[in-house]
Amino acid sequence: MRREFPKKGRPDALGAADREKLRPHNRLTAEAEPLRPPRSISPKTPTKSWATRPNRAQRRQSDPMSAGRRSAVSPTGAVAQEPIGSGLLLVAVLRPHLLPYVRPLIEFEARTEGSVGHLPMPSLANVHALHSGSKRKLSAVTGLTRWENAPDSAAQFSVDVVGRKDNFDWCSDEGQAVAIPMIDSGQYSCITMAQPCRLPVTTDMAQAFERYAAAGERSGVLVIVFVVCTMGHANSKLHEFADEYIEVDACEPDPDSDSVVTFSVEVPALADGRALGIDKSMYDIYLSDGRWTATETPFTSSSARDRAVGELAKSCKSLQAIADKLGVSTATVSRTIKKLREMKNGVPLPD
């Protein structure tokens, strides 16, 4: 007797237990509202008409953070960038040791209407930083907020330490239950938090990012999440889960520099403007008399030797002179100059 098996992909091919696994898990009781549509659309999914969606100008008419907006002009004066709006800003920190320096820098720029990676910050009334761990952290966090040349008009800055775990999971049920009510209260103009994760992004993390983005847009709050990447960043596609996305990576400091740390800040969405110098910057962080300073320069290379070759080449030195000064071969100097020229002209070659 021939047995009949259900065809693959038919509804009756799944048992009751399998169907239960496919049901979405609404872990937060306060999340009755639907999630925003995903950033990427599969080929089999019918696309929506973009004419029915509000454009950027229409969305910002009802945005409380849109008052007093300004534009940041690139070093070449060719391209102007609009300030970051409310919603979710993901900052991917590709090296965990950079977080204690990257986070205070971006929080300081947010308080002073500065800019990060050519993206100007909006005008904010206050900035609230959520940390986790021992209450003793407050003294260290306070020390990292002391920057030189801080204007008197800087936005109010406050810190809150939640829980006792150093690596508190802000994408968990407990983390969202703490952060989302703060966002919805409208008490703060900007809320920051650090989320350690092993990429790629899981379903729970993706849902948490969507909820943070929706809460920020709903309440007119800028939510900044510093994602501390430990592995798997190459295939993470973090940019698909945020309104704005920035990547931070370590750079080799110059040998004669007394900087504490050097890193690059890149806005992948501006990669097409690489030739105009608006997609990537390099920051050096210095400590003097208990206060921090930061210098921003156009990114050339993460290698100190490659940057030195580029600087010497600008002074019209010969290949042999550059090679003798740096202790390398003329072939190495020639390849480095070619690579730097191609990167400057818009070819995204690796360092």
Identify the pLDDT of residue 300.
85
Do residues 128 and 145 touch, judged by C-beta distance below 8 A? no
308-348 pLDDT per residue, tens: 888 888 887 788 888 888 888 888 888 888 888 877 665 55
Please report, in angstroms and rounded to a whole number, the separation of the first and last CA atoms in the chain. 66
Residue 4 half-sphere exposure toward CB, CA atoms < 13 A = 2
Identify the pLDDT of residue 82.
87
Q: Compute the distance between CA of residue 347 and CA of residue 350 in angstroms, rounded to an integer.
A: 9
Identify the pLDDT of residue 345.
64
Identify the pLDDT of residue 8.
47
**Helix locations, the chain, DSSP H:** 16-22, 56-61, 99-111, 137-143, 173-185, 203-219, 304-314, 319-326, 330-344
With CA atoms as reference, report the closest residue to 247 among 259, 255, 236. Answer: 236
Q: Compute the distance between CA of residue 104 and CA of residue 148 in angstroms, rounded to an integer.
A: 13
In the numeric block, which tokens belong to residue 153?
């008009």
Determine the 3-state secondary structure of 90 from DSSP.
strand
Identify the pLDDT of residue 23.
40
Do residues 292 and 106 touch, judged by C-beta distance below 8 A? no
Determine the 3-state secondary structure of 163 from DSSP.
coil
Q: What is the pTM of this model?
A: 0.73
Identify the pLDDT of residue 55.
41
Task: Compute CA distances 258 → 106, 130, 255, whole Å.
Answer: 21, 31, 8
Q: Compute the distance between CA of residue 222 and CA of residue 110 in angstroms, rounded to an integer.
A: 10
Do residues 229 and 249 touch, judged by C-beta distance below 8 A? no
Spans in the chain with pLDDT lower than 70: 1-79, 232-235, 273-279, 344-351
In the numeric block, which tokens belong to residue 147?
């920057």
Identify the pLDDT of residue 217.
94
Identify the pLDDT of residue 226.
96
3-state helix, strand, coil in the chain (%, to 5): 35, 20, 45
Identify the pLDDT of residue 56.
39
